[in-house]
Amino acid sequence: MLRVGLTGGIGSGKSTVAAALAEHGAVVVDADRVAREVVEPGTRGLAAIAAEFGPGVLVDGALDRPALAAIVFTDDAARQRLNAIVHPLVRERTAELVAAAPPDSVVVQDVPLLVENGMGPLYHLVIVVDTPVEERVRRLVDHRGLVESDARARIAAQADDDARRAAADIWLSNAGTAEQTRAAVDALWTDRLAPYEANIRLRRPFSRGAPRIVDYDLTWPVQAERLLARLRLAVGGAALRVDHIGSTSVPGLAAKDILDFQITVPTLDDSLADALSNAGFPRAHGFDSDIGHPPGSPETPKHVHVGVDPGRWANVHVRAQDSPFARLSLLFPAWLRADEGARGEYEQVKRAVAGEHATIPAYGDAKEPWFNQAIQRAEAWATATGWTAG
């Protein structure tokens, strides 16, 4: 099952995108609809609200929403009491709906305040529907009957574009025609969502071709933060630490467009395999050890899990805390971040080697002579500066 979070500002057109995804077969769970369902007449949610706020919030046995709004939107404590009633019921009902979906489903949860509530790590992917503010204002005025000042106030009260971009794996524009939006959703489903679901369900890593060095991407850090949050949620307290490592963690350094992560555990075993597979990172067998350093040292066991999102290549290296490479994988990028000369030297090596080798293993092996001497320099830097993995 692929879990997708769908969000966007008020008036952005999330419902249009959700409907298009449903036509492709997605199971859509609408948070607003669920929130209404759990306080319908006869529900324990409505009974709890009446008990908390009195019979004045009911009319003909149903919730009088304007009366309740008049209470909670001017009183933070009252709003918190309402949330304490409704939010657990919404979570419970949402979990029921998701659990009822077939195992090969793409489950899309339409959550208006996904960004504001920091819910991104709960999903394999987050889609943010974007529409320019002026168009959103027009829609709210023309289609919902809001006055312009009210429309702008509601937009301003939500997360801004910077916060949404940080949360978005997919930034989907809904500024054009309905046909253009539908075409974008069709392509998203075919190229990313459907194959990602199949890859998770079948737990199948796949080959992505030859190594290619690209210039440093300013979005790598924010992409890495999204995946870090998902990995940390997946492994919980079983890991000692989870870090973004490798060349993409070094600002300014050209690299393969692959995000590398390290999960450090007390003891290397298979206890994280299911959690990582369910999070979209199945085990890739055949990459079960690190080359010994210095040359001639024994290899050190590790596990490698590979992200199966067709839109983002990522590798996860699981290492025991006593593995020399667990420390080295933190030291090496720290040294490169601090030493501009070493950074430039490494980039030249990477570009030269990538042009000569057609596979990732061959590319890695070809870097070993430079890497062996660079480790000694990194260790000398750590001694001189007092660096620790801290």
Q: What is the DSSP string of 307-356?
A: ---TT--EEEEEEETT-HHHHHHHHHHHHHHH-HHHHHHHHHHHHHHHTT
Secondary structure class of 301 (helix, strand, coil): strand
Task: Enumerate the known binding-site residues for ATP.
Answer: 11-16
pLDDT at residue 294 tops 80: no
Q: What distance, in Å, lies between the first and last C-alpha atoms of the chain?
A: 37
Over residues 270-292, mean pLDDT: 93
Mark whether 224 and 267 lie in a shared domain.
yes
Q: How many domains does the chain have?
A: 3
d(CA 258, CA 312): 8
Domain closes at, from 51, 71, 104: 104
| Residue 201 belongs to a domain | no
d(CA 259, CA 268): 22
| Residue 207 belongs to a domain | no
| Residue 70 belongs to a domain | yes
Q: Name the residue among 10, 23, 7 with its Cα closest to residue 143.
A: 10
Mark whether 85 and 140 lie in a shared domain.
no
Over residues 115-124, mean pLDDT: 95
d(CA 250, CA 332): 10
| Residue 202 belongs to a domain | no
Structure tokens at 385: 């500066």
CATH code at position 126: 3.40.50.300
Beta bridge partners of 303: 318
| Residue 163 belongs to a domain | yes
pLDDT at residue 74 tops 80: no
Task: Enumerate the known binding-site residues.
Answer: 11-16
pLDDT at residue 208 tops 80: no
- For the chain, the average pLDDT equals 92
Domain closes at, from 127, 160, 191: 191
Mark whether 300 and 155 lie in a shared domain.
no
| Residue 12 belongs to a domain | yes
Helix 360-385, helix 340-354: angle, nearest 10: 170
Mark whether 88 and 159 lie in a shared domain.
no
Mark whether 172 and 256 lie in a shared domain.
no
- CB burial string 303-324: b at 16+ within 10 A, e below: bbbbbbbbebbbbbbbbbeebe
Beta bridge partners of 280: none
Beta bridge partners of 126: 5
Residue reference for tokens 């190229």: 191
Mark whether 263 and 334 lie in a shared domain.
yes
Mark whether 219 and 294 lie in a shared domain.
yes
Mark whether 20 and 125 lie in a shared domain.
yes
Q: Exposed, middle or buried: residue 344 (CB in 10 Å: 0-12, 13-18, 19+)?
A: middle
| Residue 123 belongs to a domain | yes
pLDDT tens digits, 232-268: 999 999 999 999 999 999 999 999 999 999 999 999 9
Q: Name the residue among 74, 2, 88 with its Cα closest to residue 311.
A: 2
Mark whether 65 and 132 lie in a shared domain.
no
Domain closes at, from 104, 138, 155: 104
Which residue range forms the structural domain that includes residue 59? 34-104
Residue 225, pLDDT score: 98
CATH code at position 243: 3.30.460.10
Q: How far is CA 275 from its chain centroid?
A: 15
Mark whether 157 and 12 lie in a shared domain.
yes
Mark whether 359 and 240 lie in a shared domain.
yes
Q: Are 372 and 295 in contact (CB under 8 A)?
A: yes
| Residue 208 belongs to a domain | no
Most confident range (mean pLDDT) of 144-158, 324-338, 364-378 is 324-338
Mark whether 240 and 357 lie in a shared domain.
yes
